[in-house]
Every structure is written in structure tokens, then in C-alpha cells.
């Protein structure tokens, strides 16, 4: 019996080998790899979708563009009543099937963002092929024009834009790197405090992209823009500060890099609800006027005070701009809900909103480093000249 069972098992295994294979497989040379997608609203309310597709024949083995300088991507645009309809239309105009898993960037045109992008994003949220980790941004113009821009250092535009956002965020905190998944979650949260980086085109003949500030939303509708300084205040308030610099006047200009920034939050109840932000920053001097004596502790103290005032100004400016735009970009309502849920229920069950929350900001700055030397270069030069 044991031998019979072995024969049966062997026969079953041999039969199973006959049915191996890839079900619903798609060959690589039959796929059009989408790298980026842009969504605009055309005249009359039509939806315009632009996909940027890699042209394999224009990518050399060494990873550079092909001889002749041809673009390594192809932009395909269509319009219709919905994103889904346009995507099917574009599939019919491409010799290869559109393939979404490699899409890394979604750009909303300004008109589409201001009109409300919920219906436009619904296709990308539902599609099992579109990754929720792709970056989302708003073009200060049309997404179609942005996808037609030239890249400076990277071979493909999505790589260039992704790194621009990442570097601008980490070096200045003047914007924020946002994924589609995070954007949707923030939009659905209390207050609808979503934000996305803003892309602009510069140059007269050859258009190149740059990152400038943040687009802020109420729900899925863009209400306005935060400048880079306001975006820096937003990052401090949200405890999402990744890097930056500030120049203060203290008997002469002093430039400082912000090494670290930590924000703690408390919520108190009095006549209303108050959110208190306590921000602590460590600084290093990167450039100093000859009139400033860094060996003097009193001068260091004045520099710290000036930096504190600048940080408070940025946060208050961001909060004021957000209120003017009618959006809780700093997430004050979210803070109250997280820190004091019972208070949040009482306060927001009525007619009150985030506009009625009092904001108190205190900042403590400490100069940790002054560079390789204390004396300014100009002072050293004058001393040498005197000899």
C-alpha cells in the first residue's frame, strides 16, 4: 500500500508540472511603462490626462539618452468626461498596453486642483495597478506643460522632480514630499488639512521645473498657496521640519542653519480652546558679518533671540495665511482631537471650527556651533592688513 501511495504521489506531481505557467501574464515588450501622469481641466470642464511613457529604444545601455538627443519619453494626451474614459482612449492610441505600477509621479494642474480633485483622483485610488506611494504635486499652470519640461541632471523628468522635491524639503523645509496615500488620508481627516508641493516652470526658451512652496487644500479642493517661508512655519508647527536656514540682523547680517527642530504640543481650555506650540531649535552659524563678535556671549544671546522671533513670525504667518484660505493647514483641529478627545467633541459639536482655536507659539533657539572659527573673515583680513 505504501508503494502504491508513492506511485500516486509521483503521478500527481508529474501531472501538476503539465499545468505550470503564468496565468494572465503580460510580456514586457507589450507594455508601455508609464513614469508620470498629469491631470488638467480643459475648457468646458473636460478632463485632460497626459501620460509620460518610456521609449525603450531611446535609452542606451549605458543609461544615457540615445544618439541624436531624442527624448527618452513620449507624452500622450487625451480628453474626455472622466479619467477612466480617457485612459481607455489612450490605450487605443498606444501600440502597447499602458502599465501603471511604475508610475512615480501624479501632477494636478492648478485649474483641476482649484475646481476640486476628488473625482479626478478616484480612478487612481481605486486602480489596483496604481501605487499609493507615488508622489503627488500641483503645477502652477497645467500638468501637460510640466510633463513637457526638460530635465537638467536626471535622464527622466519624474526622477528630476522627485529629487527636486526631496532636496528642497530636506534643505529648506519650503515644501513637503507627499504621497497619494497620505494626501487622500489628510483630505479625509478632520479639517481636511492636505497639502502638496507646487511646481513651476522657469526659463524663456527651454522650460525647466522648480519647486516653490505648498498648495493647501480644504477637503479635496485647493484653496491657495503657502510661500516657502510660510511652508517652513507650517513644517515647524507640524513637527515635520527637515532642514532650513535663516538670516537675522544683529548689528550685521548673520546666517544660520537650523540643525534640528522639535515641536511639542499642549491643549488647554479656558474661555475657548488654546493650542500651545513649544518649538526648540539648534542652530549653527554659517556666515557672519564683521560687525558681529561671536566670542561675546551677549551677542550670541541676541542672535538666538532674533532667530526665535523669526521662527515665531513664520509659524504665525503660516497659521494666518491658512485661516485666510479657510483651511486647517496646521492641523489644529486634528491636534485637539488627538490630545483632548473629550474637549474636541464638546467644542466641535457646535458651530465652532478650527478658526476659533487660539494659537500660542513659543520658540527657544540655541546656537550650538559657530563653524571652524569665531572671527569673521573680514575681521581677519583687516587685522592682517594692519600688520
Question: Residue 1: its pLDDT value, please?
Answer: 52
Backbone angles phi, psi at 4, to 5 degrees: -60, -40
Question: Residue 223: its pLDDT value, please?
Answer: 93
CATH of the domain at 330: 3.30.300.210
CA distances from 386 to 233, 293, 374, 382, 383 (A): 45, 19, 19, 6, 5
- The verdict on 38 and 134 lying in the same domain is yes
DSSP letter for 382, please.
H
- The verdict on 319 and 295 lying in the same domain is yes
- What predicted TM-score, i.e. pTM, was given to this entire model? 0.83
User: Across all residues in the chain, what is the average pLDDT?
Assistant: 85
Query: DSSP secondary structure string, 86-105?
Result: HHHHHHHHSSSEEE-TT--E
Domain membership flag for residue 51: yes
Q: Which of 199, 226, 253 is the last residue of a domain?
A: 226
Question: Looking at 30-148, which runs of residues are DSSP E strands?
Answer: 31-41, 47-54, 73-80, 97-99, 105-109, 135-139
- Of 241, 239, 274, give the one whose Cα is nearest residue 259: 241
Percent of the chain at pLDDT exceeding 90? 48
Q: How many CA atoms lie less than 13 Å away from 40 in the CB half-sphere? A: 20
DSSP letter for 69, please.
-
- Of 113, 100, 102, 106, give the one whose Cα is nearest residue 136: 106
- The verdict on 273 and 194 lying in the same domain is no
Question: Residue 21: its pLDDT value, please?
Answer: 55
Secondary element (H or E) of residue 11: helix 2-17
Domain membership flag for residue 208: yes
- The verdict on 58 and 198 lying in the same domain is yes
Q: Of 47 and 328, which is predicted with more confidence?
A: 47
Question: Residue 359: its pLDDT value, please?
Answer: 93
**Nine-digit cell string for 45:** 470642464
Q: How confident is the model at residue 178 (pLDDT cuts 50, 70, 90)?
A: very high
- Of 184, 209, 196, 188, give the one whose Cα is nearest residue 108: 196
Highest mean pLDDT among 44-48, 170-174, 360-364: 360-364
Q: Which of 226, 254, 274 is the last residue of a domain?
A: 226
Q: Is the pLDDT of residue 271 over 90?
A: no
- The verdict on 163 and 257 lying in the same domain is no
Q: Which residues contact 23 (CB under 8 A, 6 or more apart)?
A: none
Helix, strand or coil, per DSSP, at residue 329: coil
Q: Is the pLDDT of residue 7 over 70?
A: no
Domain membership flag for residue 376: yes
- The verdict on 209 and 249 lying in the same domain is no
Section 319-347 average pLDDT: 86
- The verdict on 350 and 304 lying in the same domain is yes
Helix, strand or coil, per DSSP, at residue 113: helix
Question: Residue 193: its pLDDT value, please?
Answer: 77
- The verdict on 148 and 252 lying in the same domain is no
Residue-wise pLDDT tens digits, 77-111:
999 999 999 999 999 998 889 999 999 999 999 99
Section 217-224 average pLDDT: 92
Residue-wise pLDDT tens digits, 142-153:
999 999 888 878
- The verdict on 205 and 249 lying in the same domain is no
Domain membership flag for residue 14: no
Section 342-357 average pLDDT: 77
**Nine-digit cell string for 304:** 538666538
Section 256-283 average pLDDT: 92
Backbone angles phi, psi at 360, to 5 degrees: -120, 125
Show the domain range for 254.
239-387
Domain membership flag for residue 109: yes
Question: Residue 326: its pLDDT value, please?
Answer: 86
Q: How confident is the model at residue 386 (pLDDT cuts 50, 70, 90)?
A: very low
- The verdict on 216 and 251 lying in the same domain is no
Q: Is the pLDDT of residue 387 over 70?
A: no
Domain membership flag for residue 4: no
- The verdict on 80 and 207 lying in the same domain is yes
Section 335-341 average pLDDT: 86
Strands 31-41 and 97-99, by their bridges, are parallel
Domain membership flag for residue 11: no
Of 59-63, 133-137, 302-306, 351-355, the least confident = 59-63
CB-based contact 255:307 (threshold 8 Å): no
Number of domains in the chain: 2
Section 168-193 average pLDDT: 84
Question: Residue 63: its pLDDT value, please?
Answer: 47
Q: Which of 172, 196, 226 is the last residue of a domain?
A: 226
Percent of the chain at pLDDT exceeding 70? 86
DSSP letter for 368, please.
E
Domain membership flag for residue 3: no
- The verdict on 181 and 215 lying in the same domain is yes
Of 9-13, 99-103, 198-202, 204-208, the least confident = 9-13
**Nine-digit cell string for 52:** 509620460
Amino acid at each position: 500500500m505504501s508503494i502504491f501511495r508513492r506511485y500516486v504521489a509521483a503521478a500527481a506531481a508529474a501531472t501538476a508540472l503539465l499545468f505550470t505557467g503564468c496565468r494572465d501574464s503580460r510580456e514586457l515588450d507589450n507594455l508601455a511603462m508609464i513614469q508620470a501622469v498629469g491631470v488638467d481641466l480643459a475648457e468646458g470642464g473636460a478632463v485632460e490626462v497626459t501620460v509620460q511613457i518610456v521609449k525603450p529604444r531611446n535609452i542606451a545601455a549605458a543609461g544615457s539618452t540615445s544618439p541624436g538627443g531624442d527624448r527618452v519619453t513620449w507624452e500622450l494626451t487625451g480628453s474626455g468626461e472622466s479619467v477612466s474614459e480617457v485612459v481607455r482612449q489612450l490605450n487605443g492610441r498606444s501600440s502597447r498596453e499602458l502599465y501603471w505600477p511604475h508610475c512615480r509621479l501624479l501632477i494636478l494642474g492648478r485649474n483641476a486642483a482649484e475646481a476640486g480633485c476628488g473625482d479626478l483622483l478616484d480612478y487612481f485610488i481605486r486602480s489596483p495597478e496604481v501605487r499609493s506611494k507615488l508622489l503627488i504635486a500641483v503645477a502652477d499652470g497645467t500638468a501637460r506643460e510640466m510633463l513637457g519640461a526638460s530635465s537638467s541632471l536626471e535622464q527622466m523628468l519624474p526622477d528630476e522632480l522627485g529629487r527636486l522635491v526631496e532636496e528642497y524639503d530636506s534643505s529648506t523645509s519650503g515644501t513637503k514630499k507627499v504621497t497619494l496615500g497620505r494626501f487622500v488620508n489628510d483630505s479625509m481627516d478632520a479639517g481636511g488639512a492636505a497639502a502638496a508641493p507646487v511646481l513651476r516652470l522657469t526659463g524663456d526658451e527651454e522650460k525647466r521645473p522648480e519647486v516653490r512652496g505648498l498648495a493647501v487644500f480644504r477637503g479635496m479642493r485647493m484653496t491657495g498657496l503657502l510661500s516657502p517661508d510660510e511652508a517652513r512655519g507650517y513644517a515647524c508647527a507640524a513637527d515635520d521640519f527637515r532642514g532650513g536656514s535663516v538670516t537675522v540682523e544683529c548689528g550685521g547680517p548673520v546666517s544660520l542653519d537650523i540643525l534640528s527642530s522639535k515641536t511639542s504640543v499642549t491643549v488647554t481650555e479656558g474661555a475657548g480652546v488654546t493650542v500651545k506650540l513649544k518649538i526648540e531649535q539648534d542652530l549653527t552659524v554659517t556666515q557672519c558679518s564683521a560687525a558681529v563678535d561671536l566670542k561675546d556671549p551677549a551677542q550670541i544671546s541676541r542672535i538666538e533671540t532674533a532667530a526665535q522671533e523669526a521662527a515665531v513670525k513664520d509659524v504665525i504667518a503660516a497659521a494666518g495665511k491658512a485661516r485666510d484660505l479657510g483651511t486647517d493647514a496646521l492641523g489644529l483641529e486634528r491636534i485637539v482631537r488627538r490630545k483632548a478627545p473629550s474637549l474636541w467633541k464638546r467644542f466641535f459639536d457646535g458651530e465652532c471650527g478650527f478658526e476659533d482655536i487660539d494659537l500660542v507659539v513659543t520658540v527657544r533657539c540655541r546656537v550650538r556651533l559657530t563653524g571652524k572659527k569665531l572671527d569673521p573673515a573680514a575681521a581677519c583680513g583687516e587685522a592682517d592688513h594692519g600688520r
